Amino acid sequence: MIGSVAAGAPTLPLSAGVARRLRLSFRLAGQFPLLVVLFYAGAALVQATGMPLPGNLVGMLLLLALLRLGVVRLEHVEEAAGLLLKHLNLFFIPLAVGLMAWGGLLGTSGLGLGLSLAGSAAVCLAVAGVAGQRLARKAGASDAA
């Protein structure tokens, strides 16, 4: 009796796990197209109005507005968005590979350009970080104890 239960036990969590993964895949397949539709809606809106913003940013603002209005609920997009954002870096790698095409320029004035870009990034991080932290403490938005 006990033996048969023990023998049957391992297959049960396994198949339950597979079923859970399948259900998640179905939900992702339903959620992802909504993000795609909003991206193209944002792009169309930019074309129609000529506003100086890229379509993907307008698509993000559209989704934010729809969530606030309650037209789209968090469970309609949350899992697909979470998965994509967890791997956000993956989608920047091909852009960085594109630097290959600028090898010539980066070779001749690479040092000056690199120093300018690195130095100004450091200035921005320090200024925005320190100013943000002071203002956050003043506004009581800080997490820090």
Partner 1 sequence: MRPDVLSVAAMVLLTVSAYAVARTLYLRYQHPLVQPVFLGASVIIGVLLLAGRSFEDYRAAKDVLGWFLGPVTVALAVPVYKQRARLRAAALPLAGGVALGAASTIAAVLVLAVLARVDDSVLPALAVKSVTAPIAIELARLQGGEPSLAATFAIITGTIGAMFGPALLTRCRVTDPVARGIALGTASHGQGTAAALLESETAGAMSSLAMAGAAVFTAAIAPAYIPLLLRLLLS
Task: Give the residue from 22, 24, 19 showing the smallest Cα distance to 80.
Answer: 24
Q: Are 41 and 65 in contact (CB under 8 A)?
A: no
By beta-carbon proximity to partner 1, the closer residue of 14 and 130 is 130
The minimum distance between CB 78 and partner 1, in angstroms, equals 6
Contact between 110 and 68 (Cβ < 8 Å): no
Q: Closest distance between partner 1 and the C-beta of residue 30, in Å?
A: 14
Q: Report the alpha-carbon distance of residue 77 to residue 70 in Å, rounded.
A: 13
Contact pick of 3, 100, 104, 107 for partner 1 (by CB under 8 A): 100
Q: Compare residues 16 and 125 and give the one whose CB is closer to partner 1.
A: 125
Site for partner 1 in 31-60 (CB under 8 A): 32, 35-36, 38-40, 42-43, 52-57, 59-60
Say whether residue 116 binds partner 1 (CB under 8 A): yes
